[in-house]
Structures are given as structure tokens and as C-alpha cells.
Structure 1
Amino acid sequence: MRPNLLDPFFRAITTLPGIGPKLEKLYRRLLGREDEPRLVDLLFHLPTGAIDRRARPKLREVEPGSVVTVKVTVDRHRPAPPGRDRAPHLIYASDETGDLILTYFRARRDYLEKLFPVGETRYVSGNAAFYDGMLQMVHPDRVVDEKGLAALPMIEPVYPLTEGITANMIVKAIDNALSKIPALAEWQETAFLRKNGFPPFGDALQTLHRPRDMNDIAPEGPARTRLAYDELLASQLALGLMRAHNRKRAGRAHAGNGHLRRAIIAALPYSLTLSQHRALEAIVVDLSKPERMVRLLQGDVGSGKTVVALLAAAAVIESGRQAALMAPTEILARQHFNTIAPLAEAVGIRAAILTGRERGKDRSALVEKLATGDIDILVGTHALFQDDVTFRDLALAVVDEQHRFGVHQRLALVNKGEAVDMLVTTATPIPRTLVLTYFGDMDISELREKPAGRQPVDTRTIPLDRLTEVTDAVGRALQDGQRVYWVCPLVEESETSDLAAAEDRFKTLRKRFGKEVDLVHGQMRGSEKDEAMRRFSVGETQLLVSTTVIEVGVDVPEATVMVIEHAERFGLAQLHQLRGRIGRGHGKSTCLLLYRAPLGETAKARLAIMRETEDGFRIAEEDLKLRGEGDVLGTRQSGMPAFRIASPEAHGHLLPAARDDARLILSRDAALVGERGKALRLLLYLFERDDAIRLIDAG
């Protein structure tokens, strides 16, 4: 139960004066809540900047494009002509150095004449810019007289807003919320606060929302850094408690005697890399222990994760138990199955696949064989955790691309057996900061090398106006017997987008190259997609036009050319994944990134990185810098807690200290019952890591 002391933080926003049901709906949108926002949501909605009213330049000193506060005399009004509602109401004002036009659209004349009496002095604050050679200010933020100026904050925070909520409304709501929060016991060490110059928690909130200096709201300023560290510590404490809980939960020793693993390694057409050997060794050690394994296996495109997952499965199959591999899409599940099936068959492992496509008698027979233990490893999609799918003795769950699954979906699979070990794999290397942040409850194995024989890919960027040259080059590649992917971002032309659609591109290329061209996209039936992929992989077709359904897992070693149309619209990780579909065989491979000029700064940086490197771990770090952690990990979709205050760019350097602090705290007071422990419970509740407290209280 949350302590009563924290109740004011978790009161509904509608308990504040002036916020009724209509405004509450707008605040939901602004604060990203599906249910009713609370005061804590409002207090953690931090300013992104501030207006500094301390400097009041003369009109001739105003920097165009800046937010300024100026003292002017109102000279005259020029209202919109009758019947021309769209024309602006202009107010001409001046000081001894120059003139300023104040512009209002769709405002009532009587209101503006009262606000700006001719001959009076007014202080106006807003964005000043030149239009037609005249200094103008459109819809000033503030208009006050001498008395009103004295009441204005000299440094005014600027908040993200949504339509229907004004800056004044949010400032007023936050002021009311700040007046209701209680003083809390300090959860940070006094020496640590003193060393870093950090204020107490409540003071940090007050400083950020009522700044007296521009540095008060800076991301690296003491107030924001203090709150960011609190959030990181809450996250690391929760992960530490979860890790301890997972370790404590009874497990079973699953690893067998190694005979199947040795047989699989002997059947491989290549040698395992050093990273694969190390990862397998660590997994087998985990499986041999009576505690549950929770391990993350991350590797670059084509680094051989599926084979490591099969070898891990073989370890539990050797001891008479079963394994499951769950992938987020049917194409990916079938690709894993295609890699696993021949190796499994060669050594006598019984493998099967279950997706939404298996129906009727076939599905019933498969489910029955699984329940009786006649299937050793089951590969599939979300279909694996349906109620009627039961295992005789599930010992290992491999979850691929885990950030595409919600927590409950992963647990649904793990709960299909007794003390099931979990191996999570991802083909999107995750930056170290995010590994510490989101996967701190897991042990980590990384596959850094690519398997022998992988070819470097020659990556080039080409503007779309050279499309004819690209098509000619593709024609030459087809004549040489090469296979080509051509990726488009949309399936069909939409009215709101000028992107070349996959279906249109397919028609154009089909007209030129005939039946060599095929099409695959996400809106096709599973069997149609598989058939198109089969035709391409056996060489019946040579040019596959596709959407991003081929992003992960598709393996055609003969494909040597990848054309990505509108590459500027894709994220870095996605571009890297797509490029990873080529360079898998012995032929020289080329990736052509077609872009529409002119490029924005971010898109330019993305394409430059793609040309510079094929190292997925470096690309992941750069992606984090460009996009932020929510987008990189897909936290918006997966239910992972995206940070509200801490940002990897500004506060990532604090993570190691927060992790070490969390470890030290839990080694001294694992149940958080000491004086600091009780205060830290408040911290966990404030940052909504309640699950961690439930784990402690459950023992």
C-alpha cells in the first residue's frame, strides 16, 4: 500500500481549481495518460525553456526572431475592414528609437482597444520578427501596464502545450499543485547531495517550475539533474529488486550432457565464432543452476543468434524437456524455423511451427503432439501463448525481438511451464546506456563478430532525381544473374503522402523487367508472402519489391543489391536491418539509399553514418543520440517505462553511479526497512516502480 503521505501527489488533476471534465480530457492528451492524470503527472511535466524578461531592449536593439519584452507607447489602431474577417487588426506602437506593429487575427475590436488605449504605455512580450521591412509581433504572449509588469515573473518557464491549454492555464495549475505537495524524507546520502550541489527533492521541483535564473531549468542544472538522478536510481533499484527476485525464484537445472549440442555444431557448414562459443557457454552455465535464467542475447544482423538459441534449446532437450521460440511476426517465425528445421532433423530433434496460419485438424494434431512431448522445440508467433497450447514440460522460452512484446505476453509464455528459463534475443543492438536502463535485471551476452564469409556492403547515397540511372544499374545486375531487393516505405499511394508506393513501383519495374519482378508487403496473406519469398529465394524471380516486412530475418544469400527508396524517412536501426539482408553470400554487395533533396540535418546525419560503418553497436549508439530512447527501443509500444525527467543525452553519465548506488543499498538493506530504505520506498512509489515494492513485501 502506498503511504498516505504521498496521497497529494496521486490526487486527480480535477481536484485543482478550474480543471473540470472538459479540461481533464485535454490534460490527458498533454500528459500522455489514458486514464485520469494526477498531480504527479503535472509536476513531472517540466519546462523545455524559459522567457527572460529581465532585459528590456529598445526597439532598435531587438534581435529579429527572438522573444523580447519591450516598453512601447500605443499610437493608433487599424482594425480589419468591415466584412473582411481574415484581415488582421493592427496596432501601431513605438518608443523613441523605432516602431512596432502588433498584429492580431480574429480578435474583437472592443477588446483590443481596451487592452491598448491610444497614448498609453504598455509592456508587450512575444516573438518579434521583420515582415515587409517592419518589426512586428503577432499575438503577444503578455500585454501589461506598469503595475502588471511588477507582478510578472522575470523568468517565465515555457511548457509543451496542446490545443486548448494555454501557457497561463498550465502555470496556474502547476502553482496550485506545488502548494499541495508535502515535505518528504531525504532518500539521497547527505554527502552525495553536498558534493553535487543538489537541492532537496521538493526544492528541485519548485526551482524548475518557478525559475529565478535561466540555469534553473537547464537539463544539466542542479535541479533537473537531481530529479533525473532520482528517476535513474528508482529505475536501477527496481531492476535490482527484480533481479534478486528472479534469482530467488526456484529454478530447475536443465542442461543435459551435450550430445545434441555437439551433433549440431558438427552439422553446421561453418565454425561458431568466438562470441557464439562464449554466449553458449554462459547460457549452459545458467541452465545448469537451480535458479532461473534471464539472459539477453544481442547481436548484429547475421551474427548467428538463431543458432545459439537452437543450441540453448538442445541443452534442455538433452534432459528430456521442451523449448519454445517466439517471434513477433510470421515471416520472422518462419525464417527462424527454416534455419532450425534442417539442423534439428539432422540430429533427431523434433521441431514444429505454430502461427495464426495453422488451423483445423493440422493445428489440433500439432497441439496434441506438443502436450504429449512428441515435439521438442516449437517455433511460433503470439499463437504460442494461446490457452489451448500446452507443453508436456517447457524448460526454455526464447523470446525474439522482445521489445516488440508486452511484459504480459512474455510472462504468458513463461507460465506455460514450471520454473522456465528465459533467453531474450534481439537483432537490434541496444546502446549500453539502454541496456543498463531497461535490461538491468538480465545477464547480457553480445555477439560482436559476423560469421566467416560475410562480405562488406558498399553503401551509397543517391538523390531520387537520378532514379533512371539506378533503374539502369539494377537492369545490369539482373542481366548478371544477381538478385535485388527494392524497398518502399508505403503499400499504396495515400493522399497525404508523396512517397512512392510499393505497388506503384512494382508496376513500373514489372513493365520494364517483366516476370523477373515480384512483390511482397504486410497486407498480403501469409501464404502469399511465403510464396513470393520462396520464388525469390530459389531464383524464379530476381527483383523483389517490398515494404519493410523483409526488415528482419529474411535470408537469401544470393541477394547482392538493396535499393531503399526514400531512405531519409527510415530510422537508422531500420536502415541497418534492411541493409543486413544483403552481404550474406560470397558476391560483392551494394546498398543504394535513394533520398529526396534537400535533406534535413537529422536525415543527413543518418545517411552519413550508414555510409561510414556497418557496426550495428555503433549505429545503435548514434541512433540513440538522434532519436532518444523511447523511439530506439519502441518503448511507446512495449509498455517499458520511458523516462519522464532523465534523458540519455543529458543524464546518461549518471547511470553507472545510480546502478552502483542501487547495488550498495540492496546489499545493506535488501528489504528497504532501514531509515534510508523507508525513504527510498517513497522514491519507488513516486516514480511508479510499485511492482518492485510488491516483490519485497511478497518476500
Structure 2
Amino acid sequence: MTGIELGTKLGGVLGGRTATALQKAFGVETVGDLLEHYPRRYARRGELTAIGQLPLGEDVTIVADVVEVRDREMKQRKGSILEVVISDGQGRLNLTFFNQKWRANELRPGLRGIFAGKVGDYRGSYQLAHPQYQLFPDDAEAPALADAQAKAWSEAPIPIYPATSTITSWNLKQSVELVLDALPPQEDPVPRSVRSARSELSFDAAIRAVHRPAVDRDWQRGRRSLRYQEAYLLQTALLQQRAATRALAAEPRTPRAGGYLTRLDAALPFELTGDQQTVGAEIAADLAQRHPMNRLVQGEVGSGKTLVALRAMAAVADSGGQSVLLAPTEVLAAQHLRSIVRSLGPDLAAELMPTLLTGQLPTAERKRALLRIVAGQARIVIGTHALLGDAVSFADLGLVVVDEQHRFGVEQRDQLRQKGRTPPHVLVLTATPIPRTVAMTVFGDLDVSMIKELPQGRQGIESFVVALADHPRWISRVWERLAEELAQGRQGFVVCPAIDAKEVEPGESLEEDVDPARPVASVLMTVEDLRRHPLLAARRIEVLHGRMSAEEKDRTMRAFAAGDIDVLVATTVIEVGVDVPNASTMVVLDADRFGVSQLHQLRGRVGRGGVPGLCLLVTAAEMESTARERVDAVAATLDGFDLAQVDLELRREGDVLGSTQSGGRSSLKLLRVVHDSEVIIEARADAAELLASDPDLADHPALAEALRRRLDESDRAALAKN
């Protein structure tokens, strides 16, 4: 077979039946897809797999010796069972075959092979029922080779591929071998000068080394080179997109002397922190450019990101433009409105007319809001997804601010951006700290600013783990502590993972590595328990969750902010942005069911005023479990950037990049943002150097083709929208 390429469909190479099976099992469709289905590990003919460590209920592929074979007739029905025992020298595993006596001629004691199947449990012993296998030749059948060749053959690494119950590792190896035999030498997308400086293998050599290694050094070098190539392609695509954004024409937005920004700054009752001043200067410089700003501001909980965004909005208003702030929830949108009005003061608020637009506004209010927006009276607009509707038009949209952008897909952000006559400037805010390499990988086409410094006057937060697995009676002390805080005139939150026993917060997904048999703490049950508690029965306790209407949620939050509610029992609807300075206590029930960043966000709802914060993380997770590690990590530090790194290390790698965020960039093959930070940083520098001299890749057609193949049209569109 000749003439195949990386983009060739597998049906013409392997046959329709095999190609369909591969597509169904792994989603691979082309030659390139199959070659990127890399081995997950390597075995040797001379090494055995530890049988004692096999996971029950999972498909495994192991190397072992046949030690015993016996055939017996079944007692209850007609037929026979062939029982084969395999061993790694210490543990033993049973293989069972029904009515297949002939396999005893193949599976002879003393032979070694690869065995694949699902690990089951039969009467306390692990077994593989009807496994597939491939035996190594014994000495008599092995190829007649010279001693050196025989040694090399016995020690050559055997690729073990991610497999399924229907497609074994050796099935995959056979398919890969057919493809590699037919594939002509491939051009290298990474320029020779870059590759040589790093001593990397060519793409062709690397892809063959990982699938056909003679020694361990082959696949190790191959994986290293392919990992770098993956980082290089990704960073090249992101930097190209960044350059394309900068090529768009935007209207500069600069403040005028004595204008809105000057008046806002003069009215502030406090000094901006150093970080706020630095980031503010970066944003001001971006807004003055003739290309759109595309900046991500990440900051600690309570670090003052909203004020930084408000100063940018005032600068845009000085130039005659409008700004829009897109918030993820109606509760947060309403709070942003109150916070912005308070910061502006009565005179500026009357002139800039901050306007709220959400999905559940009464019809008359909605009409008034839409008229103010389209007429340009509303210089600042705050809202939710309702802002994306066709009925919403702006007189002169100059700035789009997206708060907690991880809750919005690229399509939604782009819809809002397209409402400007010219491309508006874009400012993305997040209180979820992002490690540098993730920011580079997910948001590599954005400039990144950080606000770490907290405003003066914050009293800090003490965090404690209430470990019910070790001390089940400590739950009573949790409610005593809450009552003590309330007795000092303070308020508290109690957060639960679920609304009731059957329903979690809409759009929320809980961590899965917890005991499924353990009941989930719910808002509706907890509020009843607290209202009956002797220490809390006289307190005003209310609920807040996603099943309530927007009007009910807003009314409840206003009452809590005004001090008319003592304890708010809520779901994560209060996770982001809710600001009640008198709230001192945060109790999180079933804390192990939340992620690290969620717990950090929830804790940030207290300790926001002159009152010290107390966070009690209640968990029944066992010591040393991953679920317990998450909770312990949050209690150990208030530094969100440290926690972001911990979160990254605790999570499965595939969870790091979500496709709704990355527009197709979640399909990392070998690159790991946790462990490959240096590779990502170096690849970005190398890609930037190349693009500086060849921005359109006219002199690097192999790189341009690799990018085209790696990023299809939908991925490129998503990159552009991001």
C-alpha cells in the first residue's frame, strides 16, 4: 500500500470493519489519529506484571507465566470449564474458558504471554473470564538468532496501548504496524533550527520510536520530542490568534481631564492597592491602543477586581462609549449593580446610569432598560445571559467585561462582542487563580494580569477541617461556634452540595471520588434541622438556591445584606461575588464534594469587612483519601495561587482543560500542563521568535499544514471567539 498521509481515513488502510471498531472505541478516524493513540506503558518479554495490584472491575493487560492448566466437567449443566492459573511469581490469577478444551494445547505451563480482560471476583479470588491473550514463543519456537540478537529481542519494550474489551493492545499494535509500514517519511512541523537547538528527534523518527522502540531510550526520546512538538503547535496557534486580534481595528478609549474616571478616583474613600494601580495602568494602556484589548485579570477573592473593571468602564464612558458587565448569575448581577452604584456615588451614578438586564425582569422594567441601552443613556450595563439576545442593541459598545468567564462558552462571549460597531475591548475577570502554564495553554491568546494584594482592613480568615470520620461528635461544636458568632451580632452562611436529597444546584457537578452510599447534605433538610436546634431556633434562618425565582433570590440577598437574616443556608449560588461585610462564618457541609477552587471561593464570602472570618469545612471523608486531601489543602493556606497548583496536581489531567473554554484545546495527547511547565514556556518563546519573522508561516509549510490538521475550522473559530 502506498500514498497514505496523516489525514488518510483508516477505512482505506485497515479495512472498514477495523476502522469502524477503532472509531467507536477511541474516536480515531485518520492515520494521524491512530498514531497519536500512544502506548500508555511498555512491557518486556522478560518482565512480569504485579498481579496483586490489579484493580477489580477494570480492563487490564498484563504479562504473566502460565503455571497450571486443568479441565473439569460442570456439575449443574452440560459442558466443561478450562481453568488456567497464571502468575507473576508471587500472586496468582485464574483464567476461565467455558467449553474450550482445545485451549489447553496452547496454554501450556511454562509459557509466558500477554493476557487481557476485565478483572472479576469469583469466590474471593480474582479472575479473568474468557480473556484474550498472545503468547510469546518458547525457546524451541523463538527465532534462531545470535546471542546478541536474542538478547535484544527478549529485552525490546512491548508497547501496551489503552485498550477496550473488544480491541486489545495487540490488535492496536497490529494496526499501527500496518500504518507505519505504509506511511512514507513525514516532514517535520518544527523547524530544523529549533529542533537542533533542543536535540529533539524529527517528527518521523519520534513517531516510529514510540511505536517501535528497540530500547527504552527510543520511546523516551520519542515521547519527549512529540511532547515538545505538541506544545510548539499549540503555542503557535495561540500566538497567531493573538496577532490576528491585534490586527483588528478598535476605537481608542482614553479618559479626559476632569472626566468620569478622575471624579471616581477622587471620590474613593481609600487608596488603591499597588496591584490595583499596576493592573489599572496595564488596562489603560490597552484601551488607548487602536486594536482591541484582550486581557485576563485574575485575582484573589476580595482583591478588588470589580473596582479595577469599574475604572476601565469610567474611562470608556469618558470617550462616549458604553460598557457591559456579563455576570454568571442573577444574584451576582444584582450585587454588581448595587456595588457599582455605591462606588460611583449618587452624582456619577445618575450620569452614567448603571442599568440591570436579566432574564426575569418584569416586562415594563425590561423595556425601560432596553431603551436606555440602545439610546446610549446607560453607559454601564450589567446583566446575565439575557444580554446576548437579539433585542439588545448598544449605541456605542466600547468594553465587554466578563466576570468569572469559565461559566460562559466561547459562543456566548462572541455574541456579546459582536454587538459593537467596531470590535470592543474585552476584559475577563476571574477569582479562580490559574497556574501560569494553564493560563498559557487555555488563555494563551490573552494578556494576563494578576492582583494578589488584598485591600487594607481585611481581618483575615481562619479555616478548620471538621473531620467527622475521626470525630463524629464535632458536628455539635460547629453549631455552637456558629451560635457564638451570631451572639456577637454577626451573620453566617451554611453551604450544602444539594438543594434536596435528589437535586443538586442546576448546572453544578459534584466531585465523584466520594463514598456514593453517604447521603448528600441538602439545603432543605439542613434548614429544618437548624430551625429546630436549641441554640439557633430563635434565629432568622432562610434558604437560597437555584430553584428559587430571580425575584426571590434577590429579595433574600437584599435581606441578608441588610442584616434581616442571621443565617443563610445555600447552595453554591453564593460561591462567587456575594459581598456581605458583616458575615463572619462560613460552614461548608460535605466539603469533600466540592473542588479546591470552589471551597476557596466559598471561604472568600466571609472576612470581607472589619470582622474576622471563620471557615469550618465539615467532611466525612477518610484520612488520606483524595477527597480529604482537597479539604485539608484549602484549610492549610489562604493563597489561591498555591491552591490552584494543588488543585491541578490532585485532579485528573483530562479535567484541566474544558472544551467549552478552550475551543477544542482540551485534547492534549502527551503534553501535561502540571508537569511540563518548562516545555510550554520554552515552546511559547520559540514560537514567538519564529512568528516574528514569518507571521503567516509562508516559509514553513509543514508547520502550517500541521496546524491546519490539528485545528479544524470549528477549533479555529472557537480560538477566534475566545
Give TM-score scaled by structure 1 length.
0.87
Equivalent residue number for residue 522 of structure 2: 501
Q: CA shift at 1:121, angstroms?
A: 5.5
1:49 matched to which residue of 2? Answer: 41
Aligned residue for 2:692? 667
1:10 maps to 7
CA drift of 1:560 comes to 0.7
CA contact under 8 A between 2:657 and 2:665: conserved in structure 1? Answer: no
Counterpart residue number, 2:435? 431
The letter for the 2-side match of 1:507 is E
The secondary structure found in structure 2 opposite 1:614 is coil
Q: AA paired with 2:612?
A: K
Distance in 1 (alpha carbons) for counterparts of 2:24 and 2:334? 40
Q: Distance in 2 between matches of 1:454 and 1:321?
A: 35
Give the Å deviation of 1:75: 4.7
Map of 1:81 onto structure 2? 75
Distance in 2 separating the partners of 1:312 and 1:6: 57
Cα-to-partner distance string for 1:529-582 (whole Å, 9 max, x where unaligned): 222222222222211111111111111111111111222222111111111011
| Corresponding residue number in structure 1 for 2:232 | 233
Q: Which residue of 1 aligns with 2:26?
A: 30
Q: Which residue of 2 aligns with 1:517?
A: 541
Mapping for residues 67-466 of structure 1, pairs under 5 Å: 69-72=63-66, 74-78=68-72, 80-83=74-77, 90-91=83-84, 102-104=94-96, 107-109=97-99, 111-116=100-105, 122-126=111-115, 138-139=128-129, 142-144=133-135, 146=137, 150=142, 155-162=157-164, 164-190=166-192, 192-194=194-196, 196-214=198-216, 216-217=218-219, 221-258=220-257, 259-344=259-344, 345-347=346-348, 348-417=351-420, 418-464=422-468, 465=472, 466=474
User: Are 2:480 and 1:481 aligned?
Assistant: no
> 1:193 Cα shift?
3.4
Deviation at 1:503, TM superposition (A): 1.8
Q: Which residue number corresponds to residue 507 of structure 2?
A: none
Deviations 1:63-108 (A, max 9, x none): 74478645546552245532599x985336899x99966332xx42
CA distance in 1, matches of 2:206, 2:583: 56
Cα distance per residue 1:33-87 (max 9 Å; x no partner): xxx8444333222222233222369xxxx874478645546552245532599x9
Query: Could you say which residue in structure 2 is the equivalent of 1:648?
Result: 673
CA distance change for structure 1 residues 374 and 103 in 2, over 3 Å: closer, same or farther?
A: same
Residue 540 (1) aligns with residue 594 (2): no
Moved more, 184-193 or 329-338: 184-193
CA distance in 2, matches of 1:214, 1:164: 28
**What is the alpha-carbon root mean square deviation over aligned residues?**
3.6
Residues matched between the structures, number: 673
Deviation at residue 263 of structure 1 after TM alignment: 1.7
What letter matches 1:473 in structure 2? R
Q: CA 1:291 to 1:114, structure 2 compared with 1: closer, same or farther past 3 Å?
A: closer
Structure-2 change in CA distance of 1:397 and 1:597 (3 Å): closer
Work out the CA distance in 2 between the residues paired with 1:410 and 1:432.
23
Deviates more, 1:650-659 or 1:686-695: 686-695
- In 2, the alpha carbon distance for the partners of 1:112 and 1:556 equals 75
* Whole-angstrom CA distance in 1 between matches of 2:107 and 2:116: 22
491-500 vs 583-592, greater mean Cα deviation: 491-500
| Counterpart code for 1:502 | V
Tell me by how many angstroms 1:127 deviates: 9.1
Question: Whole-Å Cα distance in 2 between the matches of residues 329 and 212 of structure 1?
Answer: 57
The separation in 1 between residues aligned to 2:324 and 2:690, in whole angstroms, is 37
Matches of 1:91 and 1:630 in 2, distance apart? Answer: 37
Determine the structure 1 residue equivalent to 2:704. Answer: 681
Question: How far apart, CA to CA, are the structure 1 residues paired with 2:109 and 2:642?
Answer: 61
Q: Secondary structure at the match of 1:645?
A: coil
- Cα distance change, pair 6–542 in 1 and its aligned pair in 2 (3 A): farther
CA distance in 1 between counterparts of 2:531 and 2:493 reads 14
Following superposition, the deviation at residue 132 of structure 1 comes to 12
| Residues 365, 162 of structure 1: alpha-carbon distance in 2 compared, 3 angstrom cutoff | farther
C-alpha displacement at 1:260, in angstroms?
0.9
Paired-residue identity, %: 33
What secondary structure, in the 3-state scheme, does the structure 2 residue paired with 1:222 have? helix
Query: CA offset at residue 424 of structure 1?
Result: 1.3
- Change in Cα spacing, 1:117 to 1:17, as seen in structure 2 (3 Å) is closer
User: In the superposition, relative to structure 1, how do residues 567 and 120 fare at CA in structure 2: closer, same or farther (>3 Å)?
Assistant: closer
Rounded to whole Å, the distance in 2 between the matches of 1:368 and 1:78 is 85
CA contact (8 A) 2:498 2:571 kept: yes
Point out the more displaced range, 135-144 or 413-422: 135-144
Change (3 A) 1:422 1:25: farther
Distance of 1:436 and 1:493 partners within structure 2? 40
Tell me the CA shift for residue 585 of structure 1.
Answer: 1.4
Q: 1:599 aligns with which of 614, 619, 623?
A: 623
Q: Which stretch of structure 1 is more off in the superposition, 241-250 or 340-349?
A: 340-349
Distance 1:27 1:538 in 2: 58
For the Cα contact (< 8 Å) 2:331–2:557, is it kept in 1?
Answer: no
Quick one: structure 1 residues 502 and 202, their matched pair in 2 at CA, closer, same or farther if it must change by over 3 Å? farther
Aligned letter for 1:558? N
CA distance in 2, matches of 1:667, 1:636: 30
- 8 Å CA contact 1:628, 1:648 repeated in 2: no
| Paired letter, 1:652 | S
Residues 69 and 104 in structure 2, CA contact (< 8 A), matched pair in contact too: no
Cα distance change, pair 6–501 in 1 and its aligned pair in 2 (3 A): farther
Q: State the alpha-carbon separation in 2 of the partners of residues 19 and 471 from structure 1.
A: 64
Q: Distance in 2 between matches of 1:210 and 1:142?
A: 20
Unmatched runs of 5 consecutive residues or more in structure 1: none
Deviations for 1:220-278, whole angstroms, at most 9, x for unmatched residues? x2211211111111121112212222222112111130521122223333221111112
Q: Can you list the C-alpha shifts for 1:471-506, whole angstroms capped at 9, x where unaligned? A: 222233233332111111122224965222222222
Amino acid of the structure 1 residue aligned with 2:40: T
Structure 2: which 5+ runs fail to align?
55-60, 144-152, 504-515
Tell me if the contact between 2:326 and 2:383 (Cα under 8 Å) persists in the aligned partners: yes
Q: Do 1:352 and 1:379's aligned partners in 2 also have CA atoms closer than 8 Å? A: yes
Cα distance in structure 2, aligned partners of 1:11 and 1:488: 51
- Determine the C-alpha separation between the residues in 2 that align with 1:630 and 1:332: 30
Q: Deviation per CA, 1:7-26, whole angstroms, max 9, x where unpaired?
A: 833344444535549x8487
1:527 corresponds to 2:551: yes
Q: 1:352 to 1:45 in 2, by over 3 A?
A: same
Q: Is the 8 A contact 1:371 1:391 kept in 2?
A: yes
Give the deviation of 1:306 after TM superposition.
0.9
Structure 2 CA distance for aligned equivalents of residues 292 and 119 of structure 1: 71
Q: Distance in 2 between matches of 1:149 and 1:380?
A: 74
Residue aligned with 1:686, SS? helix
The one-letter amino acid paired with 1:549 is V
Instruction: Return the offset for 1:356.
Output: 1.0
Structure 2 counterpart SS, 1:594: strand
